[in-house]
Amino acid sequence: MHLFAGNSNLPLSLRIAGKLGIKLSKVEINRFSDGECRVWIREEVKGEKTFVIQSLSFPPDQYLMELCLLGSALKRLEAKNITAIIPWLGYSKQDREFRKGEAVSIELVAKLLETAGFEKIIAVELHSQTVKEYFKIPIIELSAKELVKKIILQKKENDFIVISPDLGGKGRSCEFARIMQWPIAYLNKKRDYSDGKVIILDIDREIKGREVIIYDDIINTGATAVETANFLQKKGAKRIIFIGVHSVLSGNAGILLQNSFIDEVITTDTIDLSKEKQFSKLKIISVDDLLTEKLRNLS
């Protein structure tokens, strides 16, 4: 088995390779002076099972192209069962035409990955189940919920109400509430697509004096998390934990979250977060065991 890594999340890739007891396979990824990407596989892979790890994190266009070129080079070398492990599947937010004339970007990304030569995708916690419909190749979704459960159960206070942040996250939040055996409440959230502003309109349950936990897939600008916390604090929540499986943390999201009513933000390392983006309320749990186990089963 060969395990290659793109440049987006080397710490996670190295940990997975270490757990598997192998070294990352050799590849050179560099750029021409105009920024064009060039990859060069430095291994014999003909007939060998190959995996490529790459998150589509910042800058997503660049990391997507790297991933496609890696797949394409492996296909030319006649590698077998070329699988992309994409811990954070960027572009998945664009899974439908929100406004007439917009591209459904994940549809194109799916085609690019297939054309590049990937025969299977492994991803962690997808933005929506609709995403799967755009892929003709199998897409295996791994959930971070059991990992989160372990962390939460270590806490003294663990009698929460799960809060579903929006309609799109209903299924995900319901599943989390079921696993934890906690009640659930639903928020009614609206986003203005022109400026990204988030407005929380309503909640369907009394939360005064309660500990609440919001389970979301992504924290990008932090607007959803901060506005949700403002709303829940006004409604009298005693303690607020926000789970965002993938932390994009663009712009000054970290500062906004640190200064918000949220007591703790829990995320995973599907995206490699630089020290500058981290903040004291943030707890990062690793998906390394989750992905390693899946790779072991597939290798």
Binding pattern for the stretch 46-85 against ligand R5P, x by CB under 6 A and - elsewhere? ----------------------------------------
Window 200 to 229, contacts with ligand R5P (CB under 6 A): 216-225
Instruction: Kindly state the smallest distance separating residue 88's Cβ from ligand R5P, in Å.
Output: 12
* Size of residue set near ligand R5P by CB under 6 A: 16
Classify the phi-psi angles of 32: left when phi > 0, otherwise alpha if psi is within -120 to 50, otherwise beta: beta
Binding pattern for the stretch 155-194 against ligand R5P, x by CB under 6 A and - elsewhere? ----------xx-xx-------------------------
Beta bridge partners, 41, equal 27
Q: Is 157 helix (H, G, I), strand (E, B) or coil?
A: coil
Residue 59: asked if its preceding bond is cis (omega within 30°), the reply is yes
Picking from 166, 209, 159, 157, the residue whose alpha carbon sits closest to that of residue 185 is 166
The one-letter amino acid at 76: R
**Exposure string (b/e) for 119-139, b if CB count within 10 Å is 16 or more?**
bbbbbbbbbbeebbebbeeeb
Q: Does 272 engage in binding with ligand R5P (CB under 6 A)? A: no
Instruction: Kindly state the smallest distance separating residue 196's Cβ from ligand R5P, in Å.
Output: 6
Q: Does 254 engage in binding with ligand R5P (CB under 6 A)? A: no
Q: Does 93 engage in binding with ligand R5P (CB under 6 A)? A: yes
C-alpha pair distances (Å), 299 with each of 26, 29, 49, 119: 18, 25, 7, 14
Closer of 246 and 294 to ligand R5P (Cβ): 246
Instruction: Kindly state the smallest distance separating residue 190's Cβ from ligand R5P, in Å.
Output: 11
Instruction: Kindly state the smallest distance separating residue 285's Cβ from ligand R5P, in Å.
Output: 19
Other beta carbons less than 10 A from residue 285's beta carbon: 17
Q: Which residues lie near ligand R5P (CB under 6 A)?
A: 93, 165-166, 168-169, 198, 216-225
